[in-house]
Chains A and B, each alone.
Chain A
């Protein structure tokens, strides 16, 4: 079973920031938070990951709370092509636990 909970769906206006929350209250000290997305029926695509500190790359930013019990993925300027199911995963050191939950279906609207 997944160790994360996410809202089933969210909408976002094109050009606005999309903030996708994830709860991982049972996360342990050596587990990373990963985000992937799946556009339509394609293979999942890696977005970003982090341990404690906030992270940013060309796709998104990841904000992790100080107690690490939750995180937020931020797409700063959502486009229609960002419409997808977004998965938040916590993975242990051995990466044995790549378990996907139901994810959040983000719909970006014009």
Chain B
């Protein structure tokens, strides 16, 4: 059973371009979380999604950022018109359906976005 897969592992974008980060959850997992980690800082919650639904996006910046988790395919975190301050590591985690409070989440290895 493959773990949470994130790609690309490293992404370089020029200011003003779009960044698309993908997260394939573990098989059988239908809950996905996205986090951002700035250098030397902790993980900041961004958004929590279930298949085709955004459950909690209270950590998402109001502009330029969006996330989806379609019925088929990976979850996508999309950043439009990137700025230098978007440079960070973006981590995705997944957990299975069911008694979610009693189940750990599994993290991917992250995508490191660099805006030049």
- Which A residues lie at the B interface, using CB under 8 A? 30-32, 34, 36, 38, 41-46, 49, 51, 85, 87, 91-96, 98-103
Contact = CB atoms under 8 A, between A and B. Distances in A.
A99 B106 contact: no
B109 A95 contact: no
Main secondary structure of the interface of B (DSSP, over half): strand
Given A43-B107, A43-B110, A91 B101 contact: yes
A49 B104 CA distance: 8
A96 B55 contact: yes
Interface residues of B, number: 26
A12 B93 CA distance: 29
Contacts, number: 61
A41 B89 contact: yes
A109 to B, nearest CB: 21
B100 A100 contact: no
Given A41-B110, A42-B109, A95-B95, A100 B104 contact: no
B18 interface: no
